[in-house]
Structure 1
Amino acid sequence: MKDKLKFFYKTLAFLVLLGLILYPVQKVMARKSLSGAWDMTNKVGGFYNEEPDQFEVMFFGPSHAYAAFSPLVIWEETGVKSYVFATQQQPLWATYTYIKEALKQQSPSLIVLECRMAFGDQEYYIEGNKGKDIGVTYSYMDELPLSWNKVELAMQSAPDWENRFGTLFNFMMYHSRWDELSRTDFTFRRSQARDPYKGFVMLEPQGASQPRPAIEGIEETAPLLEKNQHWLEEIIKLCRAEGIELWIVKSPSNLELEEKPLLNTVRAIAAQNGVPFHDFNEDYYAIGLTEDMFYDAHHLDALGATRFSRYFADELSAARPGLKTDSGDPVWTADLERYQAALEALNGAA
């Protein structure tokens, strides 16, 4: 018995020591997105440095969310503070975890779910050969702090422990980055991360027309992937349990013909659960969008997103006039001025 205990304590001590060595190394080696439109380390990691209990509305979902909803524009129009806690192709099981993470320090009255990933056709989004390519899973796992929520998300995000462990401890993913390391990798502190755009990604206008598929009149439904339907329903249950209103939306994205039946199914699930639903593709002309206000076929550029966010702000105020407002915050005022200057520069370059 003594020998077994001795072996146990030695093993435990070794694992603790190994963790103490690898943890700072992992922080240096991990990929950091700190500049450009997709500065996701600032947008996701910076969320944890925001003042607690300030966001009355929170947006979740994939890139269709962070390219469409501008919290600064919405705040300018309504005084309501919000944040876009979204990542590239964020699957619904990741959205569920992101909501749970957000609720650790925020108490939103309304959660807006951009539902594009309900159309996904994959059980997992692990890409590449043992992490040689940066996959979708790492894009939503990397910036989450280690917690039980993250462990549970790893279980849903990979089919085996090799990949699960890699998503939890991304040293395995980025250990070959030695040639790419810069001074920033050594000096960056996640406690300093902050996104003045509150999770919004400002995409530069491309000047190309993106035609809209003719989806009017498509009323049939198509089954969602079972895993997607499960996690959509789990998100509905979570919001209900937390006493938070949920609004399921589809942002303007030039829906493909095959997407409309899937969206009709999401609409039906929302109706069955008494959850408000809105497809803003149906408001294309009311918003004032044109086919050249898209960064690519499915994502609004900064000019289109600004126009859409003003329209959304009007919808929000009309439907939910009781939301808490804080229109005089000097920090948000400064961030809005920065946003407007960047938008003006893009508009001049377009």
Structure 2
Amino acid sequence: MKTAKRVLALAVFFSIFFALFSLCDRILSRKEVEGWWNVTAKIDGFYNSPKNEYDVIFFGSSNTYCSFNPLVIWKETGVKSYVFATQQQPLWATYYYMKDAFKRQNPDVAVLDVLMASKNDEYYDDGVNYTFCDNMPFSFDKIALARVSAPKGRRLGLLIRFLKYHSRWNELKKEDFEYRKRDMSDYSKGFYVLTSKCNNAEHTDLKNVEDSLPLSDKNREYLDKIIALCKENDVRLMLLKAPSNSTEEEKRYYNSVAKIAEENGLEFVDYNMCYDEIGLDMATDFFDERHLNIFGAEKFTEYFVKTTEYFKDRECSDNDWQGDYERYVKERDKK
């Protein structure tokens, strides 16, 4: 009898402890739910999407979420898509994002911008790691992602947000208390609606850069894993580089990606070579030197749809998406 009471008391204690811990973790965790950089709403919005909602999912870093506009794609073709990307998302994070995405969605196509294949870091700083880990639900895959994303001593904070945000008490705002993950959505489907214009962006002619640089061992390992994962799930993988005013060094890495794509029967397109065809204006179509704004993204998205065989006309009859598209048009036309 005493043993049963002791077990019950422990069960009640731990239930209360975990409930309070979860509450503190939710309140204290960093949240970006409003404005241009609402990454929390965008990632949570993907996880809250209806099952098997998307035909196409875009993966990668900031060049992905600044370049592909799912609402324009839907309006042009009826194809539903989402941008499931985070800043400086390394290929190992992309691999685990794809694994998580394929558990919830059954897309025809996965599109990967390969900017991060040109970077050779073994690990990235905490800010980058927190961005792709914070809103990912806890799972064995998240544990595996933490292990490959940081050295020992920095991994636990990627899994338990309270460890890194426990000192935010004096920064708390109303949104911290009102936040509910299950209520989050993003009308622009992961696309960043950036309306500012950069007037000093420069584009380098890379047509004569034909040699290549080998990918780092870690990048090659995870690019191979991404290719295998898409094949296992019968998802068509498109490798590409969105317009980003690439450097000559980056182009050499992209040339290596092109060779890897060819070896695996995949397509690779570097859209930095297509500015004239896309109609990009350096004075009006970039948010900063390396990222398209809303106007450049619309031009690029329309060109991408027009020149990619997969996209074909379908009926655009989803009222929810129509409302989101109209909201986007209002935001675009304000400037």
TM range (shorter): over 0.9
The equivalent of 1:199 in structure 2 is 190
Q: Within the alignment, does 1:168 sit opposite 2:147 as a pair?
A: no
For the 8 Å contact 1:205–1:303, the answer to whether it is kept is: no
Q: How many residues align?
A: 330
The equivalent of 1:336 in structure 2 is 325
Q: CA deviation at 1:205?
A: 2.4
The equivalent of 1:298 in structure 2 is 290
The equivalent of 1:131 in structure 2 is none
1:269-284 alignment runs, 5 A limit: 269-284=260-275
For the 8 Å contact 1:126–1:157, the answer to whether it is kept is: no
Q: CA deviation at 1:97?
A: 0.8
Say which SS state the counterpart of residue 144 (structure 1) adopts. Answer: coil
For the 8 Å contact 1:68–1:305, the answer to whether it is kept is: yes
Structure 1 unaligned residues grouped into runs of 5+: 1-8, 128-134
**Cα distance 1:12–1:97, how it changes in 2: closer, same or farther (>3 A)?**
farther
Q: CA deviation at 1:310?
A: 0.9
1:168-317 alignment runs, 5 A limit: 168-292=159-283, 293-316=285-308
For the 8 Å contact 1:287–1:307, the answer to whether it is kept is: yes
For the 8 Å contact 2:76–2:313, the answer to whether it is kept is: no
Q: Distance in 1 between matches of 2:10 and 2:289?
A: 54
**Cα distance 1:274–1:327, how it changes in 2: closer, same or farther (>3 A)?**
same
For the 8 Å contact 2:57–2:83, the answer to whether it is kept is: yes
What is the RMSD computed on CA atoms of the aligned residues? 2.1
The equivalent of 2:109 in structure 1 is 110
Q: CA deviation at 1:259?
A: 0.7
1:63-82 alignment runs, 5 A limit: 63-82=62-81
Q: Distance in 2 between matches of 1:261 and 1:12?
A: 59
Structure 2 unaligned residues grouped into runs of 5+: 1-7
Say which SS state the counterpart of residue 104 (structure 1) adopts. Answer: helix
**Cα distance 1:147–1:282, how it changes in 2: closer, same or farther (>3 A)?**
same
Q: CA deviation at 1:15?
A: 6.9
1:90-109 alignment runs, 5 A limit: 90-109=89-108
Q: CA deviation at 1:20?
A: 3.5
Q: 2:141 aligns with which of 146, 149, 153?
A: 149
Say which SS state the counterpart of residue 292 (structure 2) adopts. Answer: coil
The equivalent of 1:55 in structure 2 is 54
Q: CA deviation at 1:155?
A: 1.0
**Cα distance 1:14–1:91, how it changes in 2: closer, same or farther (>3 A)?**
farther
For the 8 Å contact 2:136–2:142, the answer to whether it is kept is: yes
Q: Distance in 2 between matches of 1:188 and 1:203?
A: 24
In structure 2, give the amino acid aligned to 1:332: W
Higher mean C-alpha displacement, 19-28 vs 334-343 = 19-28
In structure 1, give the amino acid aligned to 2:30: R
Q: 1:320 aligns with which of 292, 310, 321?
A: 310
**Cα distance 1:52–1:159, how it changes in 2: closer, same or farther (>3 A)?**
same
Say which SS state the counterpart of residue 113 (structure 1) adopts. Answer: strand
Q: Distance in 2 between matches of 1:249 and 1:15?
A: 49
Q: Distance in 1 between matches of 2:53 and 2:163?
A: 36
Q: Distance in 2 between matches of 1:145 and 1:109?
A: 24
Q: Distance in 2 between matches of 1:325 and 1:104?
A: 26
For the 8 Å contact 1:74–1:312, the answer to whether it is kept is: no
